[in-house]
Amino acid sequence: MPGDSVDTVAETVGYLQDHLEVKVVNDKGNTVPFGTAGELLSRGYNNMICYWQEPEKTKETLSEDGWLSTGDEFKISKDGYGRIVGRIKDIIMKGGENIAPKEIEDVLNTHPAIIDSQVALNILLIFN
C-alpha cells in the first residue's frame, strides 16, 4: 500500500486485495484467529478453473465451493497483511519424521558463511 514502511514491504506479502476472499485454516479446515499459522485458502476471480486434463489434481486443490488450497503456511495480521511462514505441501518425510524445508533453512542460515538458503523437495540452494 502507498506509505507502507520498508519493513512492511520486506517482511510481508502485502495487504490483502479487494474483491477476493482469503482465510487461514488449521488441519481440520477450521478458520484460525488472526496471527495464527495455518493453510492459506483463497477464492475469487483470480483463481484457476482447473488443472488441464487432471480432474483428480483439481479436486485436491479446489473445493466444490471454489476455495483454492495454496499449500502455503500463512499468517494474517489484524491489519490485513499476510506472511508466508512455510510450505505445507513441501513436507519431507524421512525415517518417520516430518521435516519442513523452512526448518532446514533456519538451521542452515545460522552458519556464518551462509547469507540465505532455500530448500525445496529435491533442491537445496545456498547463497553466500
Spell out, as residue ranges, where the chain has pLDDT lower than 70: 93, 120-128
Phi, psi of 38 (to 5 degrees): -175, -170
Q: pLDDT digit string (tens) for 28-54?
A: 999 999 999 999 999 999 999 999 999
Residues 6 or more apart whose CB falls under 8 angstroms from that of 123 comprise: none
Distance between CA atoms of 90 and 8, rounded to whole angstroms? 26
What is this structure's pTM? 0.72
Please report the pLDDT score of residue 67 as a whole number: 96
- Domains located in the chain, CATH noted: 1-88 (2.30.38.10), 90-128 (no CATH)
Separation CA 61–CA 42 (nearest Å) = 11
**pLDDT confidence of residue 127:** 56
Residue 86 has what pLDDT? 80
**Which string of DSSP letters, residue by residue, matches 4-46?**
--HHHHHHSSEEPPTTEEEEEE-TTSPBPPTT--EEEEEEETT
Question: Which pLDDT does position 78 carry in this prediction?
Answer: 94
* Structure confidence at residue 77 (pLDDT): 95
pLDDT of the residue at 104:
85
The pLDDT, as a whole number, for residue 122 is 56
How buried is residue 2: exposed, middle or buried, by Cβ count under 10 Å (0-12/13-18/19+)?
A: exposed
